[in-house]
Structures are given as C-alpha cells and as structure tokens.
Amino acid sequence: MQKITPFLWFDNNAEEAVEFYTSIFKNSKGGNASYYEEQGAEVSGRPKGSVMTVPFQLNGQDFVALNGGPLFKFTEAVSFVVNCETQEEVDYFWEKLTEGGDEAQCGWLKDKFGLSWQVVPTAMGKLFSSPDPEKTNRVMKAMLQMKKLVIADLQKAYDGK
C-alpha cells in the first residue's frame, strides 16, 4: 500500500470521472464503490445509498474519488504531471485529457471535471538544465508561446534554430 493517496473531491460524478481517467491511462482500474448510509447521508446532504467513494488506480498509482457535493472545486494550486517520453505520448494525453476541458499555457490543461494536469515531455529536464542561460531562456520563451508542448520546437529553441 502506498503511503500517500490523492483523494479527489467531485460534486456527484466520481464514478464518471473514474471511468474517464481509467480509460486514458494504461495499467488502470476502478475499485468497488462505497455508499452513503443514513448517518453519512445526513451529515453530507447526499442521498442515502448514493456513491460516496470510488478507489481507482492510474498507471498503478492509487487514488480515491469522492462524491462530496458542490462545496469544493479543483484549482490550479494542485495538478498532476504526466511525464511523456515521446511527442506521440504528449499528443495522446493532451487530446484525451482536454476532451471537454480547457487548454492552458505551457502544457497545462483542465479536464472536463476541472482537474488540472501538466502534460510534460521528459526532455524538458535536459532542455532546462543547460549551464548556458541563453539556451534555457530560449526554451522558456518558446514554451511560454505554447499550449500543448511540442518537443521538436522546444529542441529547436534550445539549439538556437
């Protein structure tokens, strides 16, 4: 069992979110839902017998989705990073996660549930670790002009082309 498990608060669509996320990531699965009983329903204002939590895994990482009501919403203060080895991976996750959501600058997006993600090429580590500040400044300038990150264009900026 992992020590830390992200617990995601949804209004009333935790099951839909779990289905969406597990359809995108390999090595993923949904778990058995728990339901609001009388006491929990009274406190939460949720209907008795409705889904309370759904455990799930994305790429082997444990999560829990909670139907907690409209009290709290996701913000950009918390995001999940998807590390991508290739442009094909970047394109795949970008397309899937932005479906019904919103694109943002520098590889950030909000999915249709309002959860923030960063779809990031692993090459970014190399591109930002040059001892030459001109190279890293060019990469930063190029990245700031992008929504979905394009590895070839970032590499061109790094190379000064």
85, 106, 123, 137, 150 from 141: Cα distances, Å: 22, 10, 16, 6, 13
Residue 161: per-residue pLDDT: 87
10-residue averages of pLDDT along the chain (161 residues): 94 97 97 90 83 96 95 96 98 98 98 98 95 96 98 96 87
Q: Which domains does the chain have, with CATH numbers?
A: 1-70 (3.10.180.10), 74-161 (3.10.180.10)
Q: Quick one: how many helices (H) and strands (E) in the chain?
A: 6, 9
Please say whether the beta carbons of 98 and 39 come within 8 A. no
Residue 57 is predicted with a pLDDT of 97
